[in-house]
């Protein structure tokens, strides 16, 4: 029996579409145990406590890869990451399942292989890589391989998430994106990603208000979120260092100075109680695994 704890994530960070992601101190935990027969899933909505559960389906992919046939599986879930809000819920379930299956099968896979297989299931590494390794991670696909690099961010900032009470599926958020983009927009994002990486690496947090701007996805996805553009402007007026759509949305993520104690109060003045305001810090450890006897 093992316990796998996976952090939530925020991907894209504005212009880093499908390439940038950071791990946050919000978690989903999964306890895995091989049992005599059948499938038992607890700790989640009954609608997900079956063979279509993403954690279980991810486990089956790994059992098939390794060639292991468990007699039965018990999964106990404890989830704090909101579903379909752009905070890496699906990535956490996939990673939990992949790692749980690997351990029950005898730990045949390396961490790099876990990254590759979890990314294959998810479809892109921008949430998987930071959830697995922690911190701020750049990840790209090259000949079906995941190439990644952790980037150290100096202390001095924290993250305030504005989480609405409605969901937005990644499929829907991708469907609104254009099939082609202009050369001008591509150049814009290349410049902003470059500035973002240098600003975060060097602690030039004053540059984030320029660096998190995007032309590839936010202007299209924002139309799916009621009052999105107004809320973004209000966050800027309230003094955040930067504001961006977390993953595919609908959560908006803001970056503020560690010493800013007024921002949340200012936000509360213009959003209603259908939005949950949560404060996060970077999770630097990534996935943790605990053997339970």
Tell me whether residue 91 is annotated as binding.
Answer: yes
Tell me whether residue 90 is annotated as binding.
Answer: yes
Tell me whether residue 169 is annotated as binding.
Answer: no
Q: Which residues of 194-221 are buried (b: 16+ CB within 10 A; e: fewer)?
A: ebbbebbeeeebebbeebbbbbbbbeeb
CA separation, residue 101 to residues 110, 150, 230, 241 (Å): 13, 26, 45, 41
Task: Name the residue among 117, 98, 118, 100 with its Cα closest to residue 34.
Answer: 100
Task: Name the residue among 82, 121, 103, 108 with its Cα closest to residue 3.
Answer: 103
3-state helix, strand, coil in the chain (%, to 5): 35, 30, 35
- How big is the CA angle at 167 (ends 163 and 170), to the nearest 5 degrees? 110
3-state secondary structure of 283: coil
Residues present in the chain in total:
293
In what helix (H) or strand (E) does residue 147 lie, and over which residues does it extend?
Answer: strand 145-151
Tell me whether residue 85 is annotated as binding.
Answer: yes
Task: Name the residue among 54, 8, 12 with its Cα closest to residue 248.
Answer: 12
Tell me whether residue 82 is annotated as binding.
Answer: yes
Beta strands 2-11 and 288-291, pairing class:
antiparallel
Q: Decide: 56 and 39 in contact? Cβ < 8 Å.
A: yes
Residues with Cβ within 8 Å of 279's Cβ and at least 6 positions away in sequence, in order, are 158, 159, 160, 161, 264
Tell me whether residue 162 is annotated as binding.
Answer: no
Tell me whether residue 129 is annotated as binding.
Answer: no
- How far is 135 from 155, CA to CA, in rounded Å? 12
Task: Provide the annotated binding site for ATP.
Answer: 82-92
Task: Provide the annotated binding site.
Answer: 82-92
């Amino acid at each position: 029996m093992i316990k796998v704890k996976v952090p939530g994530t925020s991907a894209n960070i504005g212009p880093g579409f499908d390439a940038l992601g950071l791990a946050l101190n919000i978690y989903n935990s999964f306890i895995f145990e091989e049992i005599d027969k059948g499938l038992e899933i607890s700790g989640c909505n009954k609608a997900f406590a079956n063979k279509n559960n993403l954690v279980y389906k991810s486990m089956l992919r790994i059992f098939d890869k390794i060639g292991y046939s468990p007699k039965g599986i018990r999964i106990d879930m404890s989830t704090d990451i909101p579903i379909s809000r752009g905070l890496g819920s699906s990535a956490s379930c996939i990673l939990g399942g992949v790692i749980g299956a690997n351990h029950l099968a005898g730990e045949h896979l390396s961490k790099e292989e876990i990254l590759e297989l979890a990314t294959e299931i998810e479809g892109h590494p921008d949430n998987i890589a930071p959830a697995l390794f922690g911190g701020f991670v750049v990840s790209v696909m090259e000949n079906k391989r995941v190439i990644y690099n952790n980037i150290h961010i100096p202390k001095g900032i924290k993250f305030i998430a504005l989480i609405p009470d409605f969901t937005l599926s990644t499929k829907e958020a991708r469907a609104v994106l254009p099939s082609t983009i202009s050369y001008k927009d591509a150049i814009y994002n290349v410049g902003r990603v470059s500035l973002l990486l240098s600003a975060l690496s060097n602690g030039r947090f004053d540059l984030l208000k320029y660096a998190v701007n995007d032309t590839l996805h936010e202007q299209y996805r924002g139309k799916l979120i009621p009052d999105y553009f107004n809320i973004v402007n209000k966050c800027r007026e309230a003094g955040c260092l930067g504001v961006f759509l977390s993953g595919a949305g609908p959560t908006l993520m803001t970056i503020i100075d560690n010493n800013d104690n007024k921002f949340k109060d200012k936000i509360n003045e213009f959003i209603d109680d259908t939005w949950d305001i949560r404060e996060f810090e970077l999770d630097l450890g990534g996935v943790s695994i605990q053997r339970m006897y």
